[in-house]
Each structure stands twice: as structure tokens, then as C-alpha cells.
Amino acid sequence: MIAELMQFKKKIRYRFRADSIWIDWDRNNKKQLVIICVSDAINNMDIVHPITDFIYTNWRYNSYNTQRKHAINVVAFLNYLLEKNQDTEFKSLTDLKIIHGDIYLNELSKRGNTRTSINGVDRTLNTLYRYLYKNECLPNVSPNAFETYQNQFGEEVHISLFRNVILPSTASSPLEHTFPSRYIPLLFETAIIVAKPIVLGLYFQIFGGLRVGEVVNITRLGVRYRLDGEVVLLNIRERQLRTDIKDSDGANFVKQERKQQVFIYKEWFESI
């Protein structure tokens, strides 16, 4: 039984965390998958937790990022329950009630999470509760709590279990994501001195908008100059060149295969 493997202790000796593995998906390709582990702080040991099956049951064929998003939502929820276990008699997931989800989602609202973020966690937790109920692990949740309706396209839509959540307003303060251009020369000068092998990849990130996982999958044959010398054209493909990178943040794979232009600033580009 899944519930029997989910006992929580009074002292926070264990923490849940999301990790990743690479497997042989078919004859010619590997695939990165998310796993949920329990970390033992005393023995410094990680054990794959059976709740990982929840991710594969629902998102086995989805992208790694989709799996990771839901795994992180589950991990954060379970760690919150572990922390609150200091003050409650919550011992296993068989003790889980709808109110626990309500409390956690309201806690996210108090922390300042956006409405969109909280709704995403809500969807993950609703799917989790349905999974646990299907596996006979939620004796404290009535089957009548799981309500659905059909939308205009005839699709079945699940109604959220969590009806007592106060969501923040839709308005949000703007975030600054722009790296000040005046610091770019200093950044490259520092990188050349401290970590020269990464400078070209750093250039591709800043002037081509590439992600880390795309940079580490570029080969020499994937780089082409345009005749006017103003642009480099990169062939961004998933080549699985860095499956050795132990990562759960998507830093070792290509999210979208494409041709990508990188603008050339000759004085800088030629120097690196």
C-alpha cells in the first residue's frame, strides 16, 4: 500500500526533494524523468519515494519541465506537512484532509505568491488527492467531494476540492529581468579571467537568448556565419550531450529545437 510507505515522524529528520534521472527511452534516445526522493538528514541518504508514481501516472509522456513543475509542487506541499507535523498529529497521508490543502494554499497567498502560481499548485494538489483517493489512501475524504462538470466541448473538468482559499488580486508588481547593459563589458572581462571556457556560451545566452540547456548542446557543426558577418546562426537541437549533469532545473536539455540567430559585436565576439 502506498500509504504504508508514507509515514511522517515527529522530528524533521526527512525532507522531500525533486531529482532527475536519464533512462533509455527507446532504441536511439534517452529521456530525462523526474523522481521524488526522501532525504535522510542523519544518514545523508536519498531514497526514491513511491509517490513518484503519481508523476508518471499523470505526466509520463509530458515534457520534463511539466513533470518537474508538478513534482516541485508536491515536494513543497509534503515538506510543509512535515514542518507542521511539529504541532499536529499528522502521521501519514492517510490522515490527509481537504483542510490541509486549504491551509497550505492560503499560506502561499500569505507569502505573496501570485494568483497564477497558486492556481497551478491547486491543480497539482487536486490531481494528487484524486490519485491518493483512487489508491484508497484518503479515508478522511468523502467520494462526494470529487465533483466534475462538462464544459462546452464535452470535456470533463474537475472542480477544485479547496473552496476556502483566499486568492490574491490579479494585479502584480512588475519584475525587473533586464541585466543592465553597462555591466556587460565587466561581466565578459571577469568571465575571461575567471572561467574562460564558458565565455562563448555566456555570449550566446546574452546576445542570442539561449538557455543553459541549449548552450551545452551546441556543436561546431551547429554554428554558421551569415555572409554579411553580422549574425551567427545556431542549429539548436536536443543532442543529449550533457546527460552527466545532475540537474532538476532543465540546464542539460533543449526545450525547443530551432534555428536561432545571435547578433555579432565584432570587437567582443572575435576576442572570445
pLDDT digits (tens, 9 = 90+) for 46-102: 999 999 999 999 999 998 999 999 999 999 999 998 888 765 556 788 889 999 999
Using a 10 angstrom Cβ sphere, with 0-12 exposed, 13-18 middle and 19 or more buried, the burial of residue 50 is: middle
Asked if residue 143 has pLDDT above 80, the reply is yes
pLDDT value, residue 228: 59
Q: How far apart are CA 184 and CA 28, in angstroms?
A: 41
Strand, coil or helix: what is 66?
Answer: helix
pLDDT value, residue 5: 47
Strand, coil or helix: what is 96?
Answer: coil
Contact present, 224 and 261 (Cβ < 8 Å) = no
Question: For 193-230, what is each residue's pLDDT tens digit?
Answer: 898 888 888 888 888 888 888 888 888 888 876 655 67
Q: How far apart are CA 31 and CA 23, in angstroms?
A: 5
Contacts of 127 (CB under 8 A, 6+ apart): 54, 58, 70, 158
Model confidence band, residue 150 (pLDDT cutoffs 50, 70, 90): confident
